[in-house]
Amino acid sequence: MNIDAAKAALAHLDIDEKEASIRASSRDFFWYSPVLKDRLDHVVADFVVRPRNEAEVIEVLKVCYHHDVPVTTRGAGTGNYGQAMPLEGGCVMHLRWMDKVKAVHPGRVIVEPGCLLKDLDAACKEQSGQEIRMFSSTWATATIGGFIAGGSGGVGSCTWGSLRDLGNIIRLRVVTMEEEPRILEFRGEELARVSHAYGTNGIITEIEMPLAPAYDWVEMFVTSKDFMAATRFAQDLANEDGILIKLATVFEAPVAKDYFQRVAPHVEADDTLIGLMVAPHSMDGFQTLLGRSPALNLIYRSDDHDWDRSPGTVFEYGWNHTTLRALKVDPSITYLQVRFGYPNQLDLIEKMREALSPEVLHHLEVLKEGGKVMFAGLSLVKFTTEERLDEIVKIHEDAGAMVFNPHRYTLEEGGRQTVDDRQLKFKREADPKGLLNPGKMIAWDDPDFDFAEMYSYPKIQAAE
């Protein structure tokens, strides 16, 4: 690893050498997890480079290849698993300058990876009345490239499913890290090689995504004294094929009262809260359905309310923002990511609640998977020890609820704990020296790893 030589060769690019900003650019939202905070807090790159275009990306990769410098690529760093953190140091490649929306067509957009989700939506809406199908709750600050390389779904997934589902990414243009970097275009089955691969096997330089109509979504809060009734309502709503929604989130009591400052004055401690986004032309259908559940109360709708202080956008209470809001009030809170899959989702949810509430409070996101409505759980956990956290994971797994552990920094542990052969195979081809975001793909480092305990990358920087 010859850092100085690489820096010198890249000196004509936009290189950041200020210690404070290198440190900032070496971090993501890993601190959501006390486990990761403990292990990654000291991690820092040697330098940060911000290419302006694909040619400069190629130059960075080529130079770093030559000097054996690891390259960890990042967007806004709003991921939660340390996926954008340079475990071995080296170069952080920041794609913030590659933010152009290149073309908007009916049903699709072509964009550079560093474009903020918010800016992408604004451009699509202005040019064509369209918007992206789904986005993370960090829409205002996150990039589309980061969302694809490090995310899995979000607001909109209650209708469109997850990013990995066929049709939710159309095309990715990717640069490899070889002696002579290649430019590849991936579609169809090939997309799985590099989407949600944390930049471990290629750098995405252009993205083609499907679009949906941009409506003035009506954002709402609904309360219920009965948690399961609220959960069933969210599910029933998502099963109404004629009602177009973009978000259906359930927060077990007392999440709303304790952690949602601007909502708190309008709810009681025993209120389960539902957060919703419904298309304006589906509001009649929505209110008809709501009227069938007289025990539910519509307490807020963004287009017609008398709250003194607006709660802000409702999706910024859901997905990973729920944990963020809870953390701000109670630093001992962390979370889990659970799959409550069809058809046992309601049983599993009820069972986990009986076993673990209030140590673990449900935060459920309606999600479509394989054409069925199910729930992703981003459960809030009152953290005590790592052992207890592992126990809670095990209780879920034993009951049949798959856990995507957000307290791990590798692709496998944050996923289904199995090697993704498509990603591994492509890494062999595209990153022969293993310099892209090292330490994040166990299959590359240690093919025989048995997942009995947390993986620890042997070459991680030593804490000072």
Question: Under the rule (CB under 8 A), what is the footprint of a copy of itself?
Answer: 105-108, 129, 133, 159-161, 165-168, 170-171, 187-189, 210-213, 215-216, 238-244, 279-282, 284-289, 291, 368-373
The Cα 461–Cα 120 span in angstroms is 36
CA dist 47 and 70 (Å) reads: 11
* Number of neighbours of residue 306 by Cβ within 10 angstroms: 5
Shortest Cβ distance from residue 154 to a copy of itself (Å)? 14
Q: Report in angstroms how near the CB of residue 163 gets to a copy of itself at its nearest.
A: 9
Question: Are 30 and 78 spatial neighbours (Cβ–Cβ below 8 Å)?
Answer: no
Please identify which residue in the block is written with the tokens 């499907």. 210
Least distance from C-beta 440 to a copy of itself, angstroms? 26
In eight-state DSSP terms, residue 135 is B
Q: Which of 103, 108, 172, 111 is nearest to 143 (CA)?
A: 111
Cα atoms in the 13 Å half-sphere on the side-chain side of 67? 19
Q: Are strands 333-335 and 380-382 parallel, antiparallel or unpaired?
A: antiparallel
Cβ(258)–Cβ(267) below 8 Å: no
Q: Residue 107 or 331: which CB sits closer to a copy of itself? A: 107
31 or 342: whose CB is closer to a copy of itself?
342
**Token pair of 297 as six digits:** 């109360």
Number of H helices, E strands in the chain: 16, 21
Which residues have a Cβ under 8 Å from the Cβ of 252 and sit 6 or more positions away? 227, 272, 353, 357, 361, 362, 363
What is the closest distance, in whole angstroms, from the C-beta atom of residue 242 to a copy of itself in the complex? 3
Distance in Å, CB of 220 to a copy of itself, minimum: 15
Q: What is the nearest approach in angstroms of a copy of itself to the Cβ of residue 95?
A: 24
CA distances from 376 to 248, 365, 367, 373, 384 (A): 11, 5, 6, 10, 23
Q: How many CB atoms lie within 10 A of CB 347?
A: 12
Nearer to a copy of itself, 291 or 331 (CB): 291
Inter-residue contact 214 to 129 (CB < 8 Å): yes
Nearer to a copy of itself, 177 or 290 (CB): 290
Q: What is the closest distance, in whole angstroms, from the C-beta atom of residue 371 to a copy of itself in the complex? A: 3
Reading the block at residue 212, the tokens are 């949906």
Cβ neighbours of 453 (radius 10 Å): 8
In whole angstroms, what is the distance from residue 315 CA to residue 135 CA? 10
Shortest distance, position 238 Cβ to a copy of itself, whole Å: 7
Shortest distance, position 346 Cβ to a copy of itself, whole Å: 14
